[in-house]
């Protein structure tokens, strides 16, 4: 029979949910000292409280409640351990409770997982960042294995219910990632590896990464495996970064993208295939990476990055590999400046024709993003983009073969090549290894690098004062005047608020 999962909103269905709570927690489970007064509480009347149900033939067989934090707090705020832990968190908290299922379906954990996935996803859309709850000890192993929740304190006696409870927490993103990984790996590459005789993560990786040895030592490979790379944008360069870094043995990633694959992406983007048309880039690239190494730790940000989640996106990150679209300037600026504040190195590599132009921003050395590109808040978007362009590739090797008539700032598009994206991922992977393994030769801005296999040119140099260098100021005026003469290249001043992939 087909099971439907949906949010419960009408009165009759809500009454059915309350009856299911009574059936499970009062009639069937003696271990709880519930009374009917416990079955419905003040939080059920709140507008932002969400109830979700699993339904077969119009009958609710499982249900769960999501309570969003508000002025009234959460139901678990009454527990000192939870309240103290909550005060240390950044971002809106949610509580999931009243997870119940009929006896005939209780053994089917897939129903509970799917139900919770729907609930947590909706909580995330409403700004939920952290789940806090209390769990009866016999249910802890199930919750830990299914949803990835962790204990935040010792088991205690809930005097109202006269039952032991365990306080738990999990970031909302981690729960969704855990559920996606669990579903994917059940019939995915890890299952296939077991069929081929690999008995676990290290058995597989020992062979899969064996050809890296001689370039890396075992200790260096282990270091890389424990490093977390943030990749904002999974299009042209971002998708290539993820795959190349995964093959190099990097084991942890934060990835962000809200876009879907379209035919216009096919000439350069790794995941762009007919079979993936209209599919979310983040879902496609997650599976591509996990098919290389099913033991990766990947945190997904399907809404892209913004001012609201930038701190969470950079949490625990060792290095950022910039994969954002050229035109998404203001979010890129926010990312670079926030990374510098958090002492996180950033590598950006732009695919200009066949070439790759690379810049390295180190938190305690060299110039900042604003200093190098000479960016101020007084500039409009067009002026910022011009400065970004001339600073990214001071020698501009691609200028000899790119027809500028095909560049449109108004429509935010320009010529691109898959070869350039692949070259960008190669230079970023090499530089990431250099930085994270603390190898010699790190050269942050105002140093710059560009390699162009079509013109057979390699340029590296030191751009004193960045875009404030006299030659750069002249370039800026030339480009700006050229844009004024070509109406096709006028750009809208309004800046994108979140990040699409390039």
269 within 8 A of 224, measured Cβ to Cβ: no
The answer to the question of residue 463 being in a domain is: no
Asked whether residue 153 is assigned to any structural domain, the reply reads: yes
In this prediction, residue 412 carries a pLDDT of 79
Pair (197, 153) in one structural domain: no
Is 172 found in the same domain as 138? yes
Q: What is the pLDDT of residue 30?
A: 61
Domain boundary residue, one of 137, 155, 180: 180
Q: Which of 180, 200, 218 represents a domain boundary (last residue)?
A: 180
Given a contact cutoff of 8 angstroms between Cβ atoms, the answer to whether 153 and 84 are in contact is no
CA–CA separation, 469 and 486 (whole Å): 26
Same-domain status, 358 and 252: yes
Do residue 240 and residue 163 come from a single domain?
A: no
pLDDT band at 184 (very low <50, low <70, confident <90, very high): low
- Are 171 and 178 in contact by the 8 Å Cβ rule? The answer is no
Same domain for 209 and 272:
yes
Does residue 435 share a domain with residue 315? yes
Q: pLDDT tens digit string along 330-370? A: 999 999 999 999 999 999 999 999 999 999 999 999 999 99
The answer, yes or no, to whether residue 484 has pLDDT greater than 80, is no
Q: Does 79 map to a domain?
A: yes
Cα–Cα distance between 261 and 253 in angstroms, integer? 21
Please report which confidence band the pLDDT of residue 500 belongs to, taking 50, 70 and 90 as the band edges: very low
Domain membership of residue 171 (yes or no) is yes
> For residue 150, what are its two tokens?
């962790």
* Residue 299 maps to a domain: yes
Same domain, 218 and 237: yes
The pLDDT-based confidence of 31 (bands split at 50, 70, 90) is low
Alpha-carbon gap, residue 152 to 190, rounded angstroms: 30
Alpha carbon 34 to its chain's center: 41
Q: Which residue has the tokens 């738990």?
A: 168
224 lies in the same domain as 246: yes
- 394 lies in some domain: no
Report residue 501: phi and psi, to 5°. -85, 155
Q: Does one domain contain both 168 and 274? A: no
CATH number of the domain that residue 168 is part of = 3.40.630.30
Consecutive H or E run containing 66:
strand 59-68
Q: pLDDT by residue (tens digit) across 366-392?
A: 999 999 999 999 999 989 999 999 999
- Return the pLDDT at 495: 42
**What three-state secondary structure class fits 84?**
helix
Q: Is residue 286 part of a domain?
A: yes
- Domain extent for 37: 4-180
Which pLDDT belongs to residue 434? 98
Which residues lie closer than 8 Å to 381 by C-beta, 6 or more apart? 329, 330, 491, 492, 493, 494, 495
* Kind plus residue range of the DSSP H or E element containing 6: strand 4-8
What SS3 class is residue 164?
Answer: strand
Question: pLDDT band for position 198 (50/70/90)?
Answer: confident
- Residue where a domain stops, chosen among 433, 451, 469: 451
d(CA 251, CA 229): 9
- Residue 136 is classified by DSSP as -
pLDDT digits 0-9 by tens, 103-122: 888 777 778 888 888 888 88
Cis before 28? omega within 30 = no
Answer yes or no: do 196 and 144 share one domain.
no
Question: Helix, strand or coil for residue 387?
Answer: helix
Domains in the chain: how many in total? 2
What is the Cα–Cα distance from 260 to 278, expressed in whole angstroms?
Answer: 5
In this structure, what CATH number is given to the domain that contains residue 320? 3.40.50.720
DSSP, collapsed to helix, strand or coil, labels residue 277 as coil
473 lies in some domain: no
Q: Tell whether 99 and 58 lie within a shared domain.
A: yes
Same domain as 320, residue 199: yes
């Amino acid at each position: 029979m087909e099971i439907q999962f949906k949010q419960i909103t009408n009165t009759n269905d809500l009454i059915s949910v309350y009856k299911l709570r009574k059936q499970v927690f009062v009639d069937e489970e003696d271990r709880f000292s519930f009374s009917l007064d416990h079955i419905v509480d003040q939080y059920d009347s709140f507008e932002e409280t969400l109830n979700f149900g699993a339904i077969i033939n119009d009958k609710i067989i499982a249900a769960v409640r999501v309570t969003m934090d508000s002025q009234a707090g959460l139901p678990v705020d009454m527990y000192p351990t939870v309240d103290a832990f909550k005060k240390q968190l950044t971002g809106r908290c949610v509580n999931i409770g009243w997870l119940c299922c009929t006896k005939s379906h209780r053994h089917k954990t897939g129903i509970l997982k799917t139900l919770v996935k729907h609930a947590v996803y909706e909580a995330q859309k409403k700004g939920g960042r952290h789940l806090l709850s209390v769990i009866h000890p016999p249910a802890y192993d199930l919750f830990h294995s299914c949803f990835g929740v962790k204990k935040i304190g010792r088991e205690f006696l809930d005097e109202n219910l006269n039952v032991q409870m365990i306080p738990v927490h999990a970031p909302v993103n981690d729960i969704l990632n855990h559920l996606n990984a669990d579903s994917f790996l059940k019939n995915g590459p890890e299952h296939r590896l077991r069929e081929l005789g690999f008995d676990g993560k290290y058995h597989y990786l020992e062979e899969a990464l064996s050809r890296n040895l001689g370039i890396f030592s075992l200790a260096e490979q282990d270091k890389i495996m424990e490093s977390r790379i943030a990749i904002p944008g999974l299009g042209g360069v971002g998708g290539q970064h993820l795959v190349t870094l995964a093959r190099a043995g990097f084991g942890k990633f934060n990835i962000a993208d809200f876009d879907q694959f379209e035919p216009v992406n096919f000439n350069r983007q790794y995941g762009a295939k007919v079979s993936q048309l209209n599919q979310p880039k983040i879902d496609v690239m997650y599976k591509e990476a996990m098919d290389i190494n099913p033991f990766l730790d990947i945190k997904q940000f399907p809404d892209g990055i913004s001012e609201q989640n930038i701190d969470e996106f950079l949490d625990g990150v060792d290095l950022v590999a910039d994969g954002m679209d050229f035109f998404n300037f203001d979010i890129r600026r926010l990312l670079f400046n926030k990374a510098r504040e958090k002492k996180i190195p950033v590598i950006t590599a732009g695919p200009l024709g066949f070439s790759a132009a690379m810049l390295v921003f180190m938190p305690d050395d060299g110039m900042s993003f604003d200093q190098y590109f000479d960016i101020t808040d007084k500039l409009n978007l067009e002026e910022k983009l011009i400065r970004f362009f001339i600073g990214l590739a001071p020698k501009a090797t691609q200028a000899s073969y790119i027809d500028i008539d095909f560049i449109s700032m108004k429509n935010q598009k320009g010529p691109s090549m898959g070869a350039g994206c692949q070259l960008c991922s190669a230079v970023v992977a090499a530089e990431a290894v250099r930085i994270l393994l603390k190898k010699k030769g790190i050269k942050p801005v105002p140093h710059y690098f560009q390699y162009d296999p079509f013109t057979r040119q390699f340029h590296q140099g030191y751009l004193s004062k960045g875009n404030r260098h006299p030659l750069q100021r002249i370039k800026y005026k030339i480009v700006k005047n050229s844009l004024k003469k070509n109406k096709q290249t006028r750009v809208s001043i309004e800046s994108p608020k979140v990040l699409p992939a390039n």
